[in-house]
Amino acid sequence: MDTTVNPNSTLEGQSQEDIPLTQKSSQFSQSLRSIHIRSIVAQDWFSVQKEREVYAVLYPMAQGLHHIELSTPLFGFGRNPKLSEAYNFTSLSDHHLRSSISGRHCHIERDALGITYLHDTSRFGTFINEKLVGKDSPCRLLNGDLISLCDPKFYAFIYVETKVSNDEFPAELSNEYLVSNLVIGKGAMSKVYIGKKRTNTSIAVAIKVIPKKHEIVGSNEEKRSTSEAIKREVQIMLSVKHPNCVRLEQLYESDSMAYIVMEYIEGGELYKRIIANENKGNGLGEEVTKFYAWQIFSALDYLHKNGIVHRDIKPENVLLLTKDTFTVAKLTDFGLSCMKDHSLTTFCGTQCYMAPEVWTNESYDSKVDIWSFGAVIFSSLSGYPPFSESYEDLKLKDQIVRGRLIYYKVWKHISTTAREFVRLCLKVDVKNRLSAEQALSHEWFNDPIAEKAKRVVQSYAD
């Protein structure tokens, strides 16, 4: 209880004139102290109000999490965080993941200078933009940082400061989407960020950012600006409606940049699965390869029948929906795609996956995609590419135009039917090469695994 003193008050029965000077001095000092106390109380009140002001919001990236307004100097996370202001993850739908979260997993601290730090106190780790913070090691949090718990790929929250605007992106985009600082992909000229819709909890998106003022030179027959290429990519993606092709959501533009918002595919690239350490350099094997191959041929059959040639099929452009093995596979990156309403002669694509007719500057058609995906299947079955600059006996172009294939001992574990199927996809003579429709009818897909792929895709599409 605060004590206040009236400087004009007197002892009972005494006038001001009757009070000794020393007593008057004492009362005056007491009055000054009272004023000082009231001043401190007021300062503390304003300080508390300032502390309670929301300085940042954590937007959820996972199912079952809630958005959190940060307004206190300390905020804890964990199953038993033991802080007055904390989040305990009781609503997290992934119960296995929740059991991996430590009792006192991490906490966020806001210092007197307005700088925010994340402190990791967990057993299995806390990550900022997929980088491990390190136990008992504070790491500064910046506007747009992505926080993960236990697994760098388990995105829990995007940290967004209330008084910091993201001028890097157009206002129209920022009003609809939150863009994180995490770059999940890079191209020759583009970057892909992970973000989320503001209005949908845990709906992640991929945002591809492309500079517009460049010229792409393909050959003497085809020169175009990136602006034209972007418009073509968007036009094609808007026309594509297939469960095994990545879906476009929105396009935003500034004077110098284009921003393509697409569905986010969390399972990553097929390439990374093929080279994963657990495969010991032997690829994915026949069963898993067939499961993905049926899906991509289904996409190619759809594209080709709708007059679209992809022209840049490679393991990096096949994305997997989830981290599960038997998941939906999707084609992405339609940046080099085109409508086959005219003769195609442009030298483009990724060289070790380019068909012979592209190397020899002949006109070509949709079967260039069959060759490219045949090379992907070869790599997935065996763990090594069919054609490579590292093979020193022949130049890459000669390997491809001759259709020279090297079979190492891993192929002893691959069925004769699978080997024959790959050879039919990698026929140098286009007339003898399979179409996508013929590939789907091949006996290699007359198999329970192909039926399983159909069911998984159908369930996803529904």
Annotated binding site: 213
- In whole angstroms, give the CA distance from residue 178 to residue 176: 7
Question: What residue type is assigned to position 233 of the chain?
Answer: E
| Rounded (5°) CA angle 146-148-151 | 145
- In whole angstroms, give the CA distance from residue 34 to residue 408: 90
Tokens of 270: 């097929």
Q: Is 312 assigned a catalytic role?
A: yes
DSSP-derived secondary structure letter, 96:
H
**By C-alpha distance, which of 185, 178, 230 is closest to 205?**
178
- In whole angstroms, give the CA distance from residue 415 to residue 381: 10
Of all helices (H) and strands (E), which one includes residue 119? strand 116-120
| Rounded (5°) CA angle 275-145-181 | 60
Which residues have a Cβ under 8 Å from the Cβ of 146 and sit 6 or more positions away?
61, 128, 129, 130, 155, 157, 158, 159, 180, 181, 182, 194
Contact present, 338 and 311 (Cβ < 8 Å): yes
433-444 burial code (b ≥16 CB/10 A, e <16) = bbbbeebbebeb
Contact present, 58 and 68 (Cβ < 8 Å): yes
- In whole angstroms, give the CA distance from residue 344 to residue 437: 21
In the set 301, 312, 333, 369, the catalytic residue is 312
320 pairs with which residues across the strands?
A: 329
Taking CA atoms, 380 is separated from 23, 134, 320, 376, 425, in Å, by 96, 35, 14, 6, 14
- The binding site for ATP consists of 213
Tokens of 208: 């591809």
**Helix/strand/coil percentages in the chain, nearest 5:** 35, 25, 40
Taking CA atoms, 24 is separated from 6, 11, 19, 272, 301, in Å, by 12, 11, 7, 85, 100
- In whole angstroms, give the CA distance from residue 351 to residue 358: 9
- In whole angstroms, give the CA distance from residue 81 to residue 102: 9
**Cα atoms in the Cβ-side hemisphere of radius 13 Å centred on 388:** 11
Active-site amino acid positions: 312
